[in-house]
Amino acid sequence: MQANAQNISFSPEIGLTYNTISHTVNAEKRTTGYQFGFRTGCMADFQFGGHFSLNPGVILNLNNGGNSYAEGHSYTGSNIPTSFSDDRTYHLHYLSVPVYLVYKTYNDYNEPHWMFGIGPSANFAIGGRYKQEYKEVSHGRTSVQRYNYSMPFGNNARFDRARGFDLGANVFIGYQMSSGFYFKAQYGLGLLNIAPQGNANNSLRNSGASVSVGFKWLTIRKNPWS
């Protein structure tokens, strides 16, 4: 009885991302927006059990995060109307280490097939940028405060803007051609609250989608059993 060949391959990968955040401040959910980003890296494929494989990798994700906006109106003790608007942008760069369990519709690497993957990723912050414009109107006067600086990572709510680690849950669907080129569409959800000293009333969470193209080449192909 002939066993299935065991294939090990490596794949450079490049793509675009479309990311956002969910943001809650003092129990009020803020309006959020999306932003485009870039991803590149390398994935490995360790085939086992015929149609299944394990895909670990290292991916550089640039410009994760998103935009967060809030506004409000109130009155002073003298019944004078006041208003504010708060517009924040989080540009977050991560080095991600995903691991996928993958099912392929064909068990030979060089035949066209669909592939479906699910798995976690460890995401380590390596940089970013924080921008904010806070506008307040009171007594007929408008004051504007603007901030634009490198993203401070940590768990101090006063000085930091995001924690430096996130754990993701990801799924993808892809199609590989016989040439070795493949295309993937992926969705990822951040499982951790990355707001410094975050809690149920103050939270910051990542999510986003991506499309990628890669090229898979075989490095080891063996069939030790017969």
Question: Is the per-residue pLDDT at 19 higher than 50?
Answer: yes
Residue 157 contacts by C-beta under 8 Å, 6 or more apart in sequence? 195, 196, 197, 202
Label residue 2 by pLDDT band (50, 70, 90): very low
The residue ranges of every structural domain in the chain are 6-69+90-129+157-222
Q: Which residue has the higher pLDDT, 8 or 225?
A: 8
Label residue 4 by pLDDT band (50, 70, 90): low
Question: Is the per-residue pLDDT at 83 higher than 80?
Answer: yes
Would you tell me which CATH number, out of the four given (2.40.160.20, 1.10.2020.10, 2.60.40.10, 3.30.450.20), belongs to the domain 6-69+90-129+157-222? 2.40.160.20
Q: What is the mean pLDDT of residues 136-165?
A: 94
- Mean pLDDT (the chain, rounded): 92
Q: Which residue has the higher pLDDT, 108 or 137?
A: 137
Q: What is the mean pLDDT of residues 93-102?
A: 98
How high is the pLDDT of residue 135? 96
Task: Dump pLDDT digits (tens) for 120-141.
Answer: 999 999 999 999 999 999 877 9
